[in-house]
Amino acid sequence: ESLVNPIATAEERDAEASVRPKRLAEFVAQERVREQLEVLLHSALRRGTPPDHILFSGSPGLGKTTLAMIVAAELGGGLRMTSGPAIERSGDLAAVLTSLQAGDVLFIDEIHRIAKPAEELLYSAMEDFRVDVIVGKGPGATAIPLDVEPFTLVGATTRSGLLTGPMRDRFGFVGHLEFYSGHELAALLMRSARILGVPVEQDGIVEIAGRSRGTPRIANRLLRRVRDFAELRADGVVTLATAQAALKVYDVDAIGLDRLDKAVLMALVSSFGGGPVGVSTLAVAVGEQPDTVAEVCEPFLVRAGLLARTPRGRVATPAAWRHLGLIPPPSANG
C-alpha cells in the first residue's frame, strides 16, 4: 500500500478518528469555507430551522467527511452516514430518509455515484421533505407519500463535474476544498502531534508537511509512520533528521513522490526520451495497471509540474528531468 495514496485504507479509520477535528474552530485552514459555513450554521441555529443542504467538493483526504461531522456537531443534531455506491435500491434510501429525526444531518459520501432512481427520490426529500414510496408492481402499483422530518443533506464529491444539474441546484451551499499549503499542513501536524502525544521539533514537522502532497490524510499518515521510526530507531522525538531518515526508509522523497511515481518519471525520460507516450504504454513499462498510473500517480505529477498531458501523450517537463538529477534536453519545454 502506498503511503501517499490519498484514499484511506480500512485499517486507517480508527487512527484517523483520533485526530479528527470535532468543531469548526478546530478545523485547520480553508478559511473561506470555514467562515461561510459558520455564518450558514449559526444563522440557521438562531432561526431554529435546518440550514440549506450542503455540498463539499474536493480531492480525497482534504476534509469533506470531517466537515460533515462538524456540521452535525455544530447543529447539535444526529448524524447518519452513507455513500452513493452503498444506496443500491431507492427503497433503502426511503427507509433512511423516513427514519430521520428533525434537525438530523444525512451525510452521503460520493454522492455523484448514487443510482438514478434513488437520486430522484432524494430530490423530493431535499425540496419538499417528502418521498413517494411505491408499493406493488405493474398497473396496481401505488405511490404512498411519506413525510420526511426537516433535515440537512450533506453531500461529498471528488468529482463535482459528474453531479447532475438538478442535483447540484438543490444544494444551497457548495464548499470547495483546496489542497493545503505546506504552512497549513505544518499547523495541522502540530495539532495532530499534540493530540497523539508525539514530541516534535518544528523543522521535523515542516519536513513531513512538505512531503504530504497538500493532503491532510497523507500528512497524518506520514506523521504516524515517522513516529514509529522515531520510537524504534531514535529517541522518540520527531526531529528533522529523524523525519528525513524515516521517509527515506518509507520511500517518500523530498517532494512527496514514492517509488512508483519516480519509476513512472524515470521510464518516461529514459525509455521514451521524455515522451510523448501513452499512459498504458507507460504503465506497462513500470509493471502497473494503467488505472493506478492514471488515477494515483498522474494527478499529483501534473499538479507538481513534473508531467504534462498533451494530445499525443504524456510528456516529462524540464522540472521532471531535474528532479531525477538529469539535464533536460533542449526539446523538453514547458
Q: Which residues bind ligand ADP (CB under 6 A)?
A: 16, 19-21, 27-30, 60-66, 156, 188, 216-217, 220
User: Which residues does the annotation place in the binding site?
Assistant: 20, 61, 64-66, 127-129, 170, 180, 217, 309, 314
User: Which residues does the annotation place in the binding site for DNA?
Assistant: 309, 314
Is residue 64 part of the annotated active site? The answer reads: yes
What is the nearest approach in angstroms of ligand ADP to the Cβ of residue 61?
Answer: 5
Among the options 211, 217, 221, 227, which is catalytic?
217
Across-strand partners of 92? none
Is residue 217 part of the annotated active site? The answer reads: yes
Rounded Cα distance between 320 and 326, Å, is 8
What is the nearest approach in angstroms of ligand ADP to the Cβ of residue 92?
Answer: 22
Among the options 104, 109, 258, 261, which is catalytic?
109
Rounded Cα distance between 160 and 56, Å, is 9
| Identity of the residue, 27 or 250, whose beta carbon is nearer to ligand ADP in the bound complex | 27
Is residue 116 part of the annotated active site? The answer reads: no
What 8-state DSSP symbol labels residue 5? Answer: -
Q: Give Cα separations from 129 to 3, 7, 153, 253, 297 (angstroms).
A: 43, 33, 11, 51, 42
Cβ neighbour number for residue 158 with a 10 Å cutoff:
19
| Identity of the residue, 90 or 220, whose beta carbon is nearer to ligand ADP in the bound complex | 220
| Identity of the residue, 81 or 319, whose beta carbon is nearer to ligand ADP in the bound complex | 81
What is the nearest approach in angstroms of ligand ADP to the Cβ of residue 38?
Answer: 14
Cell 405493474 belongs to: 138
Cβ neighbour number for residue 203 with a 10 Å cutoff:
14
The H or E element containing residue 316 is strand 313-316
Rounded Cα distance between 294 and 283, Å, is 9
DSSP β-ladder status, 173-176 and 54-57: parallel
Among the options 152, 157, 158, 239, which is catalytic?
158
Among the options 64, 213, 221, 227, which is catalytic?
64
What is the DSSP track for 126-187? Answer: HHHSEEEEEESSGGG-EEEEEE----EEEEEES-GGGS-HHHHHT-SEEEEPPPPPHHHHHH
User: Which residues does the annotation place in the binding site for ATP?
Assistant: 20, 61, 64-66, 127-129, 170, 180, 217
The dihedral formed by the CA atoms of 82, 76, 191 and 301, expressed in degrees to the nearest 10: 30
Is residue 65 part of the annotated active site? The answer reads: yes
User: Which residues does the annotation place in the binding site for Mg(2+)?
Assistant: 65
| Identity of the residue, 218 or 269, whose beta carbon is nearer to ligand ADP in the bound complex | 218
DSSP β-ladder status, 307-310 and 313-316: antiparallel
| Identity of the residue, 53 or 314, whose beta carbon is nearer to ligand ADP in the bound complex | 53
Q: Give Cα separations from 287 to 10, 40, 267, 282, 298 (angstroms).
A: 25, 49, 11, 9, 15
What is the nearest approach in angstroms of ligand ADP to the Cβ of residue 291?
Answer: 19
Is residue 104 part of the annotated active site? The answer reads: no
What is the nearest approach in angstroms of ligand ADP to the Cβ of residue 75?
Answer: 18
| Identity of the residue, 69 or 332, whose beta carbon is nearer to ligand ADP in the bound complex | 69
What is the nearest approach in angstroms of ligand ADP to the Cβ of residue 35?
Answer: 13
Catalytic residues: 64-65, 109, 158, 217
